[in-house]
Structure 1
């Protein structure tokens, strides 16, 4: 029995009558946030709809401590409490329990996820290291995107959004009829947007532009084989084109011209669950996913026409089982194991036509002891073996103390890891002209170790029904060691340090007239400590609406321990988000989103960002049957116009103004 349920029985309070949510991602088990061993933010369906966001990564702006940025040269990126750069490889992202981080860099290709905002039931975000439950790379947090179960809907839904500058987003969702043996849903969507136009700075430098187009098709089906057994199947495909690069007037255009990049993603995900009792079940799941990119162009350099491409194929196969049950009335446990194989093929990134493969296996578990009606203790951990990082163990201890049926304190501590990606451990990014190397970019010149973080936090969670208020607050310290990043050296001796000084010999076949002598190599640079506090206040009043305020305060300390500059400025000292949802007469509803960050420096390909303020507005009117999702709406994203996200001197994201209609029958 949980602390919440025990105290509720004692005080004759029904906790479920107080609308206390249930989270899955805190410990891999369904539980109240009062009992979860980690801080979890829930972005529910109402927040998703009211925000007006049409891209999944933008929803992370509603999570305290999280930063979101987009840029025209790659995928959008997300960071938690600093250390953010172009590749958000320190956060594990799941869709219905399957890890979707790309095997090449370990980042998330947000625009290629085979799911749309309209298909999401909720998003659960663990706001801190969580390796004990999800293993390596759950380093700064876990984002679990949970889609709508086919059994929760019926009928057909059509969504259409049209805006200026060619923005469009159209989708259809078809559900199986009620009472059938198989619950199923088929969704399809097509969207396109011009995210960035090229800008010219005060010095006359011209920067890159980007437009994207995507088509997404998904099928989900589930069936109750017996009273105890459920079988669930999902499959989907994403097909699209990115149009990006530097205009001909830019100095970067010869090497990075405007080009079309064709992308395709597909996946298959199956899961079987057998329930033995109310709090005991076995789940076995398997998934396969693959991503392909095709893009080629010619670099014109001094009379030479140098062909190059960024063609890449990645794939993942994963098998996992998990069992939970009771050892005694006050002892609950979970155990599981999994094996995964990642593969990547890219002639440019590895200077070879062969496929690189890496195999991982892990065992995980947790033990929860309800020591008293108010006190619960959770021990958890994951032991894993990575193909090129070796054996890692991520432990956690969490203690929850119920102050009342609807409030609790939590103390947790543990250690988590980030394993190097295939790029960081095997890169040989090369451009060749005939038989000579004319450019060597990213290069794994030496073995690197996993990053590790020792984390400690104290949290408070409460629901105060008489005021319609929910509170989630915490203070934390994360100490990072072995921070992994890239540094630059040169094969031809410049006035400053070069590769030879570091013991890196010039590669055989290096051109006497290269495009560049610079190469980027990976190494562990040192330590950093992040301390901070954050809170969420969620207030609801029937007939009025809702207000969700998040606030974070963060400090990154490096001192002389970390060689990389700007890391101590990679988190804003303060960040705020406010989502106001106001019910109006005659079925109208207005929502306002305000997002503010103090100055921050995005690392590597990013740059300096000053104080940033963004305001979004959505005005909607419901129609049709009461309780339906039918609405017509006008949404304005960034009332202040074009806005910087990643580098204030180089990129300006286009604002969006669009009309939308959603109808179900």
Structure 2
């Protein structure tokens, strides 16, 4: 696949869609059951009736891709920008904006959000669900605050796990390969009268990238283990309960990145690895009042624990009370002085206000009198976050042509970190939502919805969406959508209270073995919400005779009041002063050519304009994927995938993945042997300059036994 102007591709797709032969053979044949999706509006809908663009990554694609991570699967979604911060931290965003954090995308596991509101991030490699337990991933490509609240600003990723009733039996799988790949999976499923259970244990391990920009070893490996228990129980003909328990324990390496502020100081060289532990539990009660009316109540609790301690060295003057006061008075002045102590020692503090110069001269005097000696101490950068969530949803068919989904949600978030918040910070969120679907006629479908949200830290908001779908028939529809969405600033962005308490100082600093570093960062506390306005025109069609599904989207999105500043403890000045605009087109085509061949193509052209360059450089103007799945018979099948984008953070990415598998029957058991080869076609770092491999290919093998 090569990248260029989108016009020829769009013309080709539209010509295919409206080909007279296809229309004549298929368009008005409606006997086959329609596929349905749930994530768009919380109502089950055919893809042609959805008020927006949807991508579904089904179990066949998940298995055929050979992907070991959810973030890698999202390369199959048009417009999704997938990169890496390092080997154990993926960077995923829809259409772009700051790639180091998934601030503007909601990520769910069976409807439970795994977005960390405290530190404004999604830990993709730490999500406590095994790839083998995923049934499908539904991605709503566009703003969906209407259905899922703040943070669903640009897209929603809903990871749907397999029903325990479909998981009976035993599965054992091991994966080994280059780059230290060492994975395992084991599950046991069973059932009883009215109930089903699946228990799975899994683990992942690899070495990450090989070298940084200087050719030095890049410490970014990972090791993690997961526990998942899912139970479904029917209480009677109208009631059932579903509950899950999830846990994850692992270690993510972090390279030592601290550089002393003061000249002449040697870095400690200790690494700052992260011990990551996640726990989650959810309980859902389902009630079918009658065939036209149902509701559920779901409660969940989650806890994220990130333990990170390391040892750093700097000059004793780093803990000077006068330098701390100077930083609070003027961070720019304090940093200029700190980085040029030798230069100013003879001439005095640089020009500034009388207060700045007075403090600066006191710091210089300390420097001359011995405060330049090297001190080393322990830094604890740990953070703990908890969330409790309760939701009620009611789904009602008012008539054959009118459906309503409505509900309420309460969420409590708590973040605890001595480094980031100087203690504990919490937030509560109340939501009410509603979505109405009206079939005005055989062809016209009108949809409207809104979400009212009120948070303790940022106040209230109301976001609407309206859509008109013209259904040529139930499998082919044109759509026009207007929606608004908001994103509330997270605790870290708005209320950060960031400073380092350094302990076990050797030697002591000003007679103390524990002291606070002079740099202290405070959030503004008054940030407003980001606001998005989105317009979309699209077509979705399913040609049953050909097994061909097509979706085309034209979009124009504007985000105002953006908070774009990097989250760093060095003159972090957050504001709502930024804006972005995204225009372009997306296409996806999924074609079951025959009973043994499947072709899948995606392409996105995104033209991004942003007031902050950081938000623009994380967007690839052209990106896409191509896949060919084939069943060769005799137990053999293969898959070939191409992924590419022309420039993400300035670096091109092109890769071909090949998977070959053999199924072997062993009585009542089944054995699958598979090999995956990933070959990079470019010779550039992955997203950031320090992300480099010694070889451009990797090979790994798996063996799975099911009985």
Report the Cα distance in structure 2 between the residues aligned to 1:570 and 1:132, rounded to whole angstroms.
26
Q: CA deviation at 1:566?
A: 4.3
Of 414, 418, 427, which residue of structure 1 is paired with 2:487?
418
Instruction: Judge conservation of contact 2:88–2:208 (CA < 8 Å) in 1.
Output: no
Match of 2:596 in 1: 544
Q: CA deviation at 1:260?
A: 2.9
Aligned length: 608
Report the Cα distance in structure 2 between the residues aligned to 1:207 and 1:427, rounded to whole angstroms.
33
Match of 2:665 in 1: 624
Report the Cα distance in structure 1 between the residues aligned to 2:536 and 2:668, rounded to whole angstroms.
40
Range moving further from structure 2, 409-418 or 101-110 = 101-110
Alignment of 1:660 with 2:673, yes or no, is no
Report the Cα distance in structure 1 between the residues aligned to 2:389 and 2:614, rounded to whole angstroms.
37
Report the Cα distance in structure 2 between the residues aligned to 1:248 and 1:340, rounded to whole angstroms.
36
Match of 2:84 in 1: 70
Match of 2:628 in 1: 580
Equivalences for residues 302-313 of structure 1 within 5 A: 302=315, 303-313=374-384
Equivalences for residues 265-344 of structure 1 within 5 A: 265-302=278-315, 303-344=374-415
Instruction: Judge conservation of contact 2:657–2:679 (CA < 8 Å) in 1.
Output: yes
Q: CA deviation at 1:488?
A: 9.6
Match of 1:471 in 2: 550
Equivalences for residues 217-232 of structure 1 within 5 A: 217-232=227-242
Instruction: Judge conservation of contact 2:564–2:615 (CA < 8 Å) in 1.
Output: no
Report the Cα distance in structure 2 between the residues aligned to 1:630 and 1:121, rounded to whole angstroms.
20
Instruction: Call closer, same or farther: CA 1:387–1:373 in 2, change over 3 Å.
Output: same
Match of 1:108 in 2: 122
Of 374, 379, 383, which residue of structure 1 is paired with 2:452?
383
Report the Cα distance in structure 2 between the residues aligned to 1:265 and 1:234, rounded to whole angstroms.
14
Alignment of 1:615 with 2:629, yes or no, is no
Equivalences for residues 482-497 of structure 1 within 5 A: 482-486=561-565
Q: CA deviation at 1:614?
A: 1.0
Range moving further from structure 2, 580-589 or 315-324 = 580-589
Report the Cα distance in structure 1 between the residues aligned to 2:566 and 2:36, rounded to whole angstroms.
44
Instruction: Call closer, same or farther: CA 1:332–1:255 in 2, change over 3 Å.
Output: farther
Q: CA deviation at 1:652?
A: 2.0
Of 526, 538, 556, which residue of structure 1 is paired with 2:608?
556
Instruction: Call closer, same or farther: CA 1:328–1:466 in 2, change over 3 Å.
Output: closer
Range moving further from structure 2, 92-101 or 427-436 = 427-436
Q: Name structure 1 gaps, 5 residues minimum.
A: 1-9, 490-515, 602-607
Instruction: Judge conservation of contact 2:71–2:92 (CA < 8 Å) in 1.
Output: yes
Q: CA deviation at 1:65?
A: 0.1
Instruction: Judge conservation of contact 1:78–1:88 (CA < 8 Å) in 2.
Output: yes
Q: CA deviation at 1:12?
A: 6.8
Equivalences for residues 12-91 of structure 1 within 5 A: 13-16=30-33, 20-72=34-86, 75-91=89-105
Instruction: Judge conservation of contact 1:159–1:171 (CA < 8 Å) in 2.
Output: yes
Match of 2:197 in 1: 184
Report the Cα distance in structure 2 between the residues aligned to 1:157 and 1:300, rounded to whole angstroms.
50
Instruction: Judge conservation of contact 1:162–1:168 (CA < 8 Å) in 2.
Output: yes
Report the Cα distance in structure 2 between the residues aligned to 1:488 and 1:133, rounded to whole angstroms.
28
From the two aligned structures, give the one with the greater helix fraction.
Answer: 2
RMSD: 2.5
Match of 1:195 in 2: 208
Instruction: Judge conservation of contact 2:393–2:405 (CA < 8 Å) in 1.
Output: yes
Instruction: Call closer, same or farther: CA 1:258–1:625 in 2, change over 3 Å.
Output: same
Superimposed CA distance per residue, residues 427-460 of structure 1 (whole angstroms, 9 cap, x where no aligned partner) = 1221234565425365313521111100010110
Superimposed CA distance per residue, residues 161-180 of structure 1 (whole angstroms, 9 cap, x where no aligned partner) = 01123211101010014x43
Instruction: Judge conservation of contact 1:428–1:440 (CA < 8 Å) in 2.
Output: no
Report the Cα distance in structure 2 between the residues aligned to 1:175 and 1:230, rounded to whole angstroms.
19
Report the Cα distance in structure 1 between the residues aligned to 2:557 and 2:269, rounded to whole angstroms.
38
Q: CA deviation at 1:73?
A: 8.0
Q: CA deviation at 1:625?
A: 7.2
Q: CA deviation at 1:543?
A: 3.9
Instruction: Judge conservation of contact 2:87–2:208 (CA < 8 Å) in 1.
Output: no
Report the Cα distance in structure 2 between the residues aligned to 1:338 and 1:249, rounded to whole angstroms.
45
Q: CA deviation at 1:565?
A: 2.3
Paired residue secondary structure (2:220): strand
Alignment of 1:133 with 2:147, yes or no, is yes
Match of 2:497 in 1: 428
Report the Cα distance in structure 2 between the residues aligned to 1:164 and 1:207, rounded to whole angstroms.
16
Of 617, 620, 643, which residue of structure 2 is paired with 1:595?
643
Report the Cα distance in structure 2 between the residues aligned to 1:629 and 1:63, rounded to whole angstroms.
31
Match of 1:3 in 2: none
Instruction: Judge conservation of contact 2:88–2:125 (CA < 8 Å) in 1.
Output: no
Instruction: Call closer, same or farther: CA 1:362–1:36 in 2, change over 3 Å.
Output: same
Superimposed CA distance per residue, residues 68-99 of structure 1 (whole angstroms, 9 cap, x where no aligned partner) = 11222873121111213211111000000011
Instruction: Call closer, same or farther: CA 1:12–1:200 in 2, change over 3 Å.
Output: closer
